[in-house]
Structure 1
Amino acid sequence: MSKMSFRKAYYIIICLVFFGCQEEVYVEKIYEKPEIVKEAVSDFLSPEESMKTFYLPEGYEVELVASEPMIDEPVTIAWDGNGRMYVAEMNTYMQDVNGSGTNNAISRIKLLEDTDGDGKMDKSTVFIDSLMLPRMILPLENELIVNETYSYDLWSYKDTNNDGVADKKERVYYNENRRGGNLEHQQSGLVWNLDNWVYTTYNPIRFKFTGGKVVVDSLDNMPSGQWGLTQDDMGIMYYSSAGSENPAYGFQQPAVYGNFNPEGRLSKDFVQPWPIVGTPDVQGGLKKLREDGTLNHFTGVAGQEIFRGHRLPPSTYGDLFIPEPVGRLIRRAKVKIEDGKKVLYNAYDEAEFMASTDLNFRPIQAKTGPDGALYIVDMYRGIIQESNWTKEGSFLRPVIVRKGLDKNIGKGRIYRIVYKGITPDEKPNLLDKKSSELVSYLAHPNGWYRNTAQKLIILRNDKSVVSELKKLASDNSAVNGNLFKEDRDLGLERVHALWTLDGLGMSDKEFIKARFNDKDERVRLTAIRLSENFIKAGDTTMYADLEQFIDDPSIEVVNQLALSLRYGKDNTSTTLLNRIKEKYGSHEIISHSTIESLKKDDYKLAALKKHIADRSIRDKERILRGYESYKQLCVTCHGENLKGVLLEDGSLVAPTLIGSPRVTGDRVTLSKILINGLIGPVDGKDYGIMMPLKDNSDGYIADVLSYIRALNNKNAVGNGQVRDARKQSEGREDYWTLKELEE
């Protein structure tokens, strides 16, 4: 980076530049970029020493919340309503370069408490022991929902005697299938969304915890995602994928309406990170490095968070923070709406919000805390890539051995980022409050409080607050008696009141229709979404009132109308959609929503069924199973159209599967590629490593290959051919190369 270009980012006027605010403008002074150390040492540093390697904009400070030996290999955190922190640990993750013992069920979930209120955890108990790499946690009212690696199941754990250790375990969701593949390509999240559904990455289903039961709903074409899931104030979720080196996608619309990623959602050069230390251990090899040895493209993106706290400068609210553990940095992205399209911009010019020169700094999750600060989970270790990428013949293995990264295990840190002059809040006590008291917290300036209060009211199913919620949703302009008089966002409070009523099953038609005239576009948009309950039930009386939104001054409201009308079974919904199409035919976002809504079903699945109509029943079943599996895993790199995910520079993450001689050729050889993976050039280009899928069943591999071959108009793959491939590959641990397979 030239000094000239860096000076352009020396001061950044966040509010004015991005939003044209008339309010107080925060001017941030970015750190002086240090001299890049191309070959940094990999020695372990104490938390205090490591914190000295952090670079942040002026005014921001890092405080240590917890570290080893209190925690070990932390991967995700969550707070209960009283601010106690659950920490999931993957204690067997990459304990050597071969990943030995990864699948031993000895991982834990810790329960941490800050007993003296100084912001640092001082009490720790092992809440759950002997787990298989726990990856998702969701605190409810008096229980913790947990998912482990290689499983779809959800388990409820309760501590009935208040000693900090779970003593009651119950499975609340069961799926007989085992989740195959390596641990990096599995679900994460378990996010309680504004719409009261709980979402994860990868799996096209969502959950609702209501009446002591778990309701499961299937979704079509929802975003996939990898490690990390977050939501903004309106419940729009942001996904990322390390596999396709995609730092952010799926955030144009609620996930329930499908995956939509228009071009230009990432500003020019957004995918270029700006580390301050050389990055020798990047899976993609030298092509992923600049001349100074730093990472030139996002690769390990994980654990992103829309910051919705109130104890940092107001300009940070609503920003997307994206950890990049391979680059040892955290990106801060501004979310700007341009004619209805959300576009992400780096908040700084050729610099990052947070960067470190410590090679063991591995930020894998950012979280908005109950205290209003920004929390960072640092796995603090040498190897951050799973063993499929570190085998003999990989680019990473000799780098790991040379730098001694395989020796750096068994530690972990949790930090919080604060700002000079702004004191974080004290810990909450929402679990001890009545539902009537929780209603006031729907106006809290911290999104964590608003979502947690809404969640607790719904879990209690307390109908005694319905009258108060309806008053809030109708007219909450009065502030008498409210706890948050000065900081209330009245429109957002009404949005939460509406969704809380819906979660209690108390959204009636006339009440929702009355909200159509709200002056706040977010409330109108929410009312349109809630009208779907009646549209789906075949109620045609809503259309006369919905029609007005075709001319709404808000592009977001018009777009929501197009999205919601897809559930209408009456011809009137089609008529309204065609009117929207006629008026907004050239509008990128609305036209897409209108076209998709006019299809009103999974058109891709319908097209596939038509394509394989002449096949045998057995082959049809196999291909359709393969279609579902492909959407959950392969789509990350090979794309929905099987032609490879396109990067911003025009290159592909993975080779096309359409017309590929490997796909259309010998089925046993093709099966070998999935079993052991592939390394080396493909058709003259090096795509890195294709991971092995040997842990999956023969049927799973045959199904996926049958789907891929069906789109190439080739016959299906059978279990026997996969078994033959396994037998011929018996004892082999390395990836295949095309040269070997051809020989």
Structure 2
Amino acid sequence: MLGFQQISGIKPAFSLDDYKIEEGFELKLIASESLLKAPVSLDFDNKGRMWVVEMIGYMPNLEGIGEEEPTGRISILEDRNKDGIADHAKVFLDKLVLPRAMAHVYGGLLYVDGPKLWFVEINNDKPGKKTLVDPVYAEGGNVEHSSNGLMMNIDNWIYNANYNFRYQLKNGKWLKEPTTDRGQWGITRDNFGRLYYNNNSTNLQGDFVLPNKVIRNKYFKPTVAEHQRLASNRVYPIHQTSVNRGYQTGVLDEKGLLKEVTAACGPLVYRGGAFPDAYNQNAFVCVPEANLIKRNILNFKGLQTTASQATEGREFIASTDEGFRPVNLFMGPDGAMYVVDMHRGIIQHKAYISQYLTEQLASKKLDTLQNAGRILKITSKTNKLNPTPDFTKATTGQLVALLSNSNGWLRDRAQQVLIQRKDLSVVNQLLTLAKSTNELATAIHALYVLDGLNALTFDNLSALVKQSKQPETIAHALGLLERFATPQRVVGMKAISTELLARNNETIDLYLSMALNPWLNLSETTFLPMLSEIEKKYATQKVVQEAITSGLDGKEAVYLASMNPSDFLKNNLTLTISNRQKKQLNSIYVAEVNAVDARTKGLKLFRTICATCHGADGKGIQDLAPPLKGSEYIDGSMKRLAAIILHGVSGPIHVNGKLYQLNNEMPALLNNKDISDQDIVDIIRYTQNALAKEGKGISTADVKKMRDKKPSGSGVLTEKQLLEEDFEK
């Protein structure tokens, strides 16, 4: 359902005493729980106003009960008295189930509600016509492992974290096509258009190549060109924090401080232009479990990217406030960095939360920190912020000028608004701009405005490639040339390729090797030798060899027979041919929805089968079933536990020294055809994670053994059998 209500706010109180920020920067609280609850993402509209996604239903208690209730919303925050602090909010959409992402695109709003991805038109700040873009967008897994991100890239495609599809609205129709599955929570990009992401235990990951360039060969999965760990996972908190695996050896140092990230998320490659030059295209990362934000320096050397800790032993922002939970970072229209602070005690989903962390949070009463939330703003003390233009009133000429602005947010939005306006009077101006040399990727922005306006031709792209001195622009242009591959243009493409090869530039050679694919289908004799020339030149560079494998889609055998490839490429091609024969596709071309992870599946099975009697929290229910939490049957033999689940229990039983008279037998799952051995394993692993003092493992083979080992007598276990039988035999 749609809602529209207004909320008046009060100025939030905020003390910087709990926060240490890098010298030269200021931290300011601009919105808090008087206006919002549980924020997880934000975006700015064309007027520069902030819109916030509020995931209010996430872990409403330590048991995670009630999270499926439609309590989420998307609100518009405003600063009406112009003092820099939001003082008013109005709800644009409400009654949402665990909303986790949104994006202002195509003049409307793309957002997530439960498993579905929607696009809604915006009419005077009210929702208009809704279009279902993808009914299974966030299907599977729990909220921490569901699709999110929704970031418009420079190539006019919308990319996600934790999902192997990308989206685009073209000629009135929504397109959905496979892409690499990236990260867990949050996604970002550099000026060139390469993507960066992470997962809980990995500070920063990224691709060495532009998206969808090295995956065109459906029977080959690159292992070098994408999904690379870029930086150390070391982290430097300034106080002891409660983390999920804090009891495990090596998680905390001798002072009780977290050593490596365990909940990294929400990365941002800063492109705002309002920080000192040394911070341009640094990768910032949220580390909510340690109450801090990291700064990584990206190093673009050759064809590979690396990253390093900006200041050894110290983080960009570190707090002693254990409620500080940064989960996402964004650039704003003014060039500032905005921090989405969920500001709550529990940030671990029930499917993964350990008994250790549950007890820690309860002892500190952090489980009571609910329904809060803050937006923080980071600015430089020395650099001025950009004035925020109103895109709804900007002229087309002003929009073109913004493509050269130092603030990447303004460049990105100007590109999209120009496409939406469909003003072809600026085509020549854009063509000139696309041939320029500009470190801010202005030429690439211009190129993709032309693409969005359907104003590109083989001739103007050819002229651009020949005249441009910027390898990154040429790399994008080569990809756009692919759609114009026809027999009549083979001679022209041969001339372009020959000239580009003579430049001896590794970036150009890399993208040429991938862009020749459609041309190979027209003339193998013309373009295979060019690929071979690139291969021999970069025989030791695995990124290039994977690019060639991708570009040779369907031509692997021909290349093997005629071009005498190096050993690395030969292995790639041989593997690809074998995969093709076996019909073994790269998994991104098979998976339609995210798989439910084992612990989430175990939680769901526990809630469905076990919680009715033992309680959702495992503490038991009076006169119905004893507690599981702290029980010797949970902390003891896993095979015995499997036997209990499979065969059931009858009669009185002692748990933790207390006698429980069971009025009914605990039902056995042995003959339930819908419950597999793997399901039993998942249930047990969930109980070990959530209820046991120290988790233990079990295999499906162990469960099968217990399935076949039926108790004597009635076939239902008694306490005597549980205590006397050796289940480990």
TM range (shorter): 0.7 to 0.9
Report the CA distance shift for 1:741/1:272 in structure 2 as closer, same or farther (over 3 A).
Answer: farther
What code does the residue aligned with 1:236 have? R
Amino acid at match of 2:545: S
How far off is 1:49 after superposition?
4.6
- Residue of structure 2 equivalent to 1:533: 483
Instruction: Determine the C-alpha separation between the residues in 2 that align with 1:337 and 1:139.
Output: 30
1:177 and 1:134, CA in 2 relative to 1: closer, same or farther beyond 3 A? closer
> Does residue 508 in structure 1 map to residue 457 in structure 2?
yes
Change in 2 beyond 3 A, CA 1:605/1:69: farther
Structure 1 pair 462–196 and aligned structure 2 pair: CA distance change class (3 A): same
Superposition pairs for residues 285-296 of structure 1, below 5 Å? 285-287=247-249, 288-296=251-259
The counterpart of 1:132, out of the listed 90, 97, 106, is 97
Cα 1:636–1:669 shift into 2, 3 Å: closer
Write the deviation string for residues 327-354 of structure 1: whole angstroms up to 9, x where unpaired. Answer: 1111111111233210011111121111
Equivalent of residue 547 in structure 1, options 474, 498, 519: 498
Match of 1:557 among 508, 512, 516: 508
Q: What residue in structure 2 maps to residue 578 of structure 1?
A: 532
Task: Give, in angstroms, the shift of residue 430 of structure 1.
Answer: 1.0
Q: Which amino acid aligns with 2:457?
A: D
Aligned partner letter, 1:247:
N
Q: Could you say which residue in structure 2 is the equivalent of 1:497?
A: 446
**Which residue of structure 2 lines up, in the alignment, with residue 651 of structure 1?**
none
State the partner residue of 1:662.
Answer: none
Structure 1 residue corresponding to 2:244, chosen from 265, 279, 282: 282
1:504 partner letter:
L
**Post-superposition shift, 1:47?**
6.2
1:76–1:87 CA contact under 8 A, matched in 2: yes
Q: 3-state SS of the aligned residue for 1:372?
A: coil
Maintained 8 Å contact 2:18/2:320: yes
Name 2:402's counterpart in structure 1: 441
What's the RMSD between the two structures over aligned residues? 3.6
Note if 1:227 corresponds to 2:203.
no
| Inter-CA distance 174–56: structure 2 relative to 1 (3 Å threshold) | closer
Q: 1:297 aligns with which of 260, 278, 288?
A: 260
Q: SS where residue 395 of structure 1 aligns?
A: helix
Alignment of 1:349 onto 2:312? yes
Shift in CA distance, 740/381, structure 1 to aligned 2, threshold 3 Å = farther
Contact 2:108–2:119, Cα closer than 8 Å, also in 1: no
Cα separation, 2, equivalents of 1:355 and 1:537: 60
Match of 2:643 in 1: none
Matched position secondary structure for 1:255: coil
| Residue 490 to residue 314, structure 1, CA distance change in 2 (3 Å) | closer
Question: CA–CA distance in 1 between the matches of 2:177 and 2:726?
Answer: 45
Task: Specify whether residues 491 and 183 from structure 1 end up closer, same or farther in structure 2 by C-alpha distance, changes over 3 A only.
Answer: closer
Separation of aligned partners in 2, 1:143 and 1:493: 25
Deviation of 1:554 after TM superposition, in Å, equals 3.2
* Range that drifts further, 91-100 or 285-294: 285-294
Other-structure match for 2:115? 150
Shift of 1:115: 2.8
Q: Assess, with a 3 A threshold, how the Cα gap between structure 1 residues 60 and 624 changes in structure 2: closer, same or farther.
A: closer
2:290 to 327, 333, 343: 327
One-letter code of the match for 1:584? Y
Native 8 Å contact 1:319 1:334 kept in 2:
yes
After superposition, the C-alpha distances for 1:272-301 in whole angstroms (9 at most, x for unaligned) are: 111111122234643321111111111211
Residue 610 of structure 1 and its aligned partner are, at CA, apart by: 4.5
The answer to whether the Cα contact below 8 Å between 1:389 and 1:396 also exists between their aligned partners in 2 is no
Match of 1:215 among 175, 198, 206: 175
1:378-527 to 2 correspondences below 5 Å: 378-390=341-353, 394-474=355-435, 489=438, 492-517=441-466, 518-527=468-477
* 8 Å CA contact 1:303, 1:366 repeated in 2: yes
From the superposition, tell whether residues 333 and 128 of structure 1 become closer, same or farther in structure 2 (CA, over 3 Å): same
Question: Over residues 696-743 of structure 1, what are the superposed CA-to-partner deviations in whole Å (9 max), with x where a residue is unaligned?
Answer: xxxxxxxxx9xxx9xxxxxxxxxxx9xxxxxxxxxxxxxxxxx99989
In the alignment, structure 1 segments of 5+ residues that lack a partner are 1-45, 477-488, 614-619, 638-665, 691-704, 710-720, 722-738
Seen in structure 2, the aligned counterparts of structure 1 residues 275 and 263 have a Cα distance that, compared at 3 Å, is farther
* Contact 2:299–2:307 (CA under 8 A) maintained in structure 1: yes
State the match for 1:250 in structure 2: 206
CA distance in 1, matches of 2:487, 2:102: 34
**1:298 and 1:599, CA in 2 relative to 1: closer, same or farther beyond 3 A?**
farther
Q: 1:292 is aligned with what amino acid?
A: K
Question: Residue type matched to 1:540 in 2?
Answer: V
Contact 2:137 2:147 in 1 (8 A): no
Change (3 A) 1:402 1:475: closer
Q: 1:241 aligns with which of 194, 199, 206?
A: 199
Contact residue 168 and residue 175 of structure 2 kept, 8 A: yes
Residue deviations 1:616-660 (CA, integer Å, cap 9, x gap): xxxx9xx989962697676999xxxxxxxxxxxxxxxxxxxxxxx
Shift of residue 251, structure 1, vs aligned partner: 2.4
Q: Could you tell me how far 1:449 is from its partner in structure 2? A: 0.5
The answer to whether the 8 A contact 1:491-1:523 is kept is no
- Look up the SS of the partner of 1:110 in the other structure: strand
The answer to whether residue 70 in structure 2 is matched with residue 105 in structure 1 is yes
Report the alpha carbon displacement of residue 676 of structure 1 after superposing the two structures with TM: 6.4
DSSP-derived class of the 1:358 partner: coil
Deviation at 1:180, TM superposition (A): 1.9
CA-to-partner distance for each residue in 1:236-275, whole Å, 9 max, x for gaps? 1102112xx122223211221346546996567x111111
Q: C-alpha separation between the residues in 2 aligned to 1:156 and 1:203? A: 21
Change (3 A) 1:119 1:310: farther
Question: Which residue number corresponds to residue 118 of structure 1?
Answer: 83
> What runs of 5+ residues in structure 2 fail to find an aligned partner?
1-10, 216-221, 556-571, 601-672, 702-706, 708-724
Amino acid at match of 2:84: G
Change (3 A) 1:573 1:331: farther
CA separation in 2, counterparts of 1:444 and 1:238? 23
1:361 aligned residue: 324
Tell which deviates more after alignment, 565-574 or 418-427: 565-574
Mapped partners of 1:344, 1:740: distance in 2: 53
Query: Distance between the aligned counterparts of 1:87 and 1:125, measured in 2?
Result: 10
1-structure distance, mates of 2:589, 2:429 = 49
CA contact (8 A) 1:224 1:631 kept: no
**1:17-49 CA distance string (max 9 Å, x none):** xxxxxxxxxxxxxxxxxxxxxxxxxxxxx9655
2:655 corresponding residue in structure 1:
none
Conserved 8 A contact 1:336-1:343: yes
Are the equivalent residues in 2 in contact too, given 1:117–1:427 (CA < 8 A)? no
